[in-house]
Structure 1
């Protein structure tokens, strides 16, 4: 069996959309980092998106585990023109588009950004390739809110809108079985 232990990166304290924009994580909660590191399987491989908030979180919880190269495919959704804007500003400037993006996630995308379907396909393809390269190995994947939710939807066979009802907190573990079949073991577990 192959299990992916999806970890949401440490907090950034941003109050705006943060997609492909690279912002640092706050890794000052060393007690939480230690609890998370201890709760994860010690024989798992560690990988992260290439954005520093995930890279640095992965380094903090790596311990003696083998680290794999960072993966662009595990990045957060690309929010395009919305990246760096507060949610209220997006709603004011693009009222119909922003409402549609959250209420009917699928093919709707922010200007110069990616839709749920595009981002989910990117993340899914990347994690499938990663597990094919590392058969029968459990993987700790440090990534982002949207990337993790896309995999919850994939594994649970639920619509994106329903997946968005789940919380994915910083430092949380979302455990998804990939082989022999896809399935969700737990979502948003805080050690």
Structure 2
């Protein structure tokens, strides 16, 4: 059995401000760093063989906290980045709605059917992210691997594993430092845990 542990990054300032981050490299807040340390403590009991992360600092720093507990270095995979929000990056809901009336609503209702201005489609995100995940899993047969990525990225990966339409991507909640566990049996993914943040409960 191969175990894949998918973790979303800790909180950033743009998370607080409800700004769309995408490929913008936004650092963790102090709270986000505490969250990263808490999820690292939670995973300390796992026998982790490798740690991977997106190259964006919010994911990379979260991954470094986890890797340090296991005396590992982080393998950086740019394909694990968040969806590219293009012209929407750095803007909040109200600003986007004002400039692109009606389009943001479609992002939530039918995300796989829109082209983000200057950005990616969710299909493009799924293709690059899920291809990267399959390569990682194939590289570590019988081992436990932690992958730190982003909410949209993890959502599309889980949609791919479940073979469900990408229009359901927002039905899979991903809080900051959420833990998702997938076990592979003869190459078949079995999802055991989704969006668990018990490590953040006081």
For the structure 1 residues 31 and 88, does the alpha-carbon distance in structure 2 shift closer, same or farther, using more than 3 Å as the test?
closer
Aligned to 2:194: 187
Residue segments in structure 2 that go unaligned for 5+ positions in a row: none
User: In the alignment, which of 162, 166, 175 is matched to residue 181 of structure 2?
Assistant: 175
Hey, which of these two has a bigger chunk of helix by percent? 2
Residue segments in structure 1 that go unaligned for 5+ positions in a row: none
Give the TM-score of the pair, scaled to structure 1.
0.90
Query: Counterparts of 1:35 and 1:11 in 2: how far apart (Å)?
Result: 12
Secondary structure of 1:182's match? strand
For the structure 1 residues 111 and 178, does the alpha-carbon distance in structure 2 shift closer, same or farther, using more than 3 Å as the test?
farther
Give the TM-score of the pair, scaled to structure 2.
0.86
Query: Counterparts of 1:172 and 1:76 in 2: how far apart (Å)?
Result: 15
Taking the TM superposition and a 5 Å limit, the aligned residue runs for 1:135-150 are: 135-150=141-156
| RMSD of aligned residue pairs (Cα, Å) | 1.9
Query: Counterparts of 2:11 and 2:32 in 1: how far apart (Å)?
Result: 10
Query: Counterparts of 1:36 and 1:18 in 2: how far apart (Å)?
Result: 22
Q: Give the drift of 1:44.
A: 3.1
Secondary structure of 2:112's match? coil
Aligned to 1:90: 96
1:154-182 CA distance string (max 9 Å, x none): 12222223231232111110112344212
Q: State which drifts further: 142-151 or 39-48.
A: 39-48
For the structure 1 residues 27 and 134, does the alpha-carbon distance in structure 2 shift closer, same or farther, using more than 3 Å as the test?
farther
Q: Give the drift of 1:32.
A: 4.4
Residues 46, 65 of structure 1: 8 Å contact kept? no
Residues 3, 175 of structure 1: 8 Å contact kept? yes
User: In the alignment, which of 76, 88, 91 is matched to residue 82 of structure 2?
Assistant: 76
For the structure 1 residues 30 and 121, does the alpha-carbon distance in structure 2 shift closer, same or farther, using more than 3 Å as the test?
closer
Between the two proteins, the alignment pairs up a number of residues equal to 191
Query: Counterparts of 1:90 and 1:47 in 2: how far apart (Å)?
Result: 32
Aligned to 2:166: 160
Secondary structure of 2:111's match? coil
Query: Counterparts of 1:33 and 1:121 in 2: how far apart (Å)?
Result: 27
For the structure 1 residues 31 and 51, does the alpha-carbon distance in structure 2 shift closer, same or farther, using more than 3 Å as the test?
closer
Q: Give the drift of 1:132.
A: 2.0
